[in-house]
Amino acid sequence: DTGVSQDPRHKITKRGQNVTFRCDPISEHNRLYWYRQTLGQGPEFLTYFQNEAQLEKSRLLSDRFSAERPKGSFSTLEIQRTEQGDSAMYLCASSPNVDTQYFGPGTRLTVL
């Protein structure tokens, strides 16, 4: 069990650029979640995958956001045409069941 990993840990970009984050879940975990955490707030749910299927999306996930989980392994979260309001920590979590989620270290995005 090597834990959930995320890459990159930090990303600084200019407004209007596209960014992509990667999450590698704990192997054999079929559930994968993405959350966004802004300064001084708790994480907020963005989207959920079971294996390769994206089964749930929050209304926070605007059409500039897209997530994939090809082959049910790693997942990517892409933000197109970034805005300053997208600056946040993006957290990935994986789970073997509905009970417990294990979080990665997060990717901190700063949009200038």
Interaction site with another protein (CB under 8 A): 4, 6, 31, 33, 35, 40-45, 48, 50, 55-56, 58, 91, 93, 95, 98-106, 108
Nearer to another protein, 58 or 80 (CB): 58
* Minimum CB distance to another protein, residue 65 (Å): 16
Minimum distance between the CB of residue 16 and another protein, rounded to whole angstroms? 26
Contact 58, 44 (CB under 8 A): yes
Q: Which helix (H) or strand (E) holds 109?
A: strand 107-111
List the one residue out of 59, 45, 56 whose CA is nearest residue 93. 45
- For the bound state, the minimum distance from the C-beta of residue 14 to another protein, rounded and expressed in Å, comes to 22
CB-based contact 106:91 (threshold 8 Å)? yes
Instruction: Identify which of residues 33 and 79 has a Cβ nearer to another protein in the complex.
Output: 33
Residue closer to another protein by CB (options 6, 75) is: 6
How far apart, in whole angstroms, are the C-alpha atoms of residue 94 and residue 13? 27
| CB of 74 or CB of 80, closer to another protein | 74
